[in-house]
Chain A
Amino acid sequence: DTAVSQTPKYLVTQMGNDKSIKCEQNLGHDTMYWYKQDSKKFLKIMFSYNNKELIINETVPNRFSPKSPDKAHLNLHINSLELGDSAVYFCASSQAGDRATYEQYFGPGTRLTVT
Chain B
Amino acid sequence: AQSVTQPDIHITVSEGASLELRCNYSYGATPYLFWYVQSPGQGLQLLLKYFSGDTLVQGIKGFEAEFKRSQSSFNLRKPSVHWSDAAEYFCAVHGSNDYKLSFGAGTTVTVRA
Q: A-side interface residues toward B, CB under 8 Å? A: 4, 31, 33, 40-45, 48, 50, 55-56, 90, 92, 94, 96, 99-100, 102-109
Contact = CB atoms under 8 A, between A and B. Distances in A.
Contacts, number: 57
B96 A103 contact: no
Q: Is the interface of B mostly helix, strand, loop or mixed?
A: strand
Contacts of B98: 56
B46 interface: yes
Contacts of A33: 99, 101
B101 A42 contact: no
Given A99-B32, A102-B32, A41 B105 contact: yes
B70 to A, nearest CB: 23
B101 A41 contact: no
B37 to A, nearest CB: 11
Contacts of A105: 46
Interface in B68-107: 88, 90, 94, 96, 98-103, 105-106
B43 A55 contact: no
Contacts of B44: 43, 90, 92, 106
A50 B98 CA distance: 12
A56 B34 contact: no
A92 B100 CA distance: 12
B100 to A, nearest CB: 6
21 contacts: A4-B43, A31-B99, A33-B99, A41-B38, A41-B106, A42-B103, A43-B90, A43-B103, A44-B103, A45-B102, A48-B99, A90-B43, A96-B99, A102-B32, A102-B101, A103-B34, A103-B49, A106-B36, A106-B43, A106-B45, A107-B43
* Max chain A C-beta neighbours (<10 A), residue from B34, B43, B90, B105: B43
Nearest to B88: A41
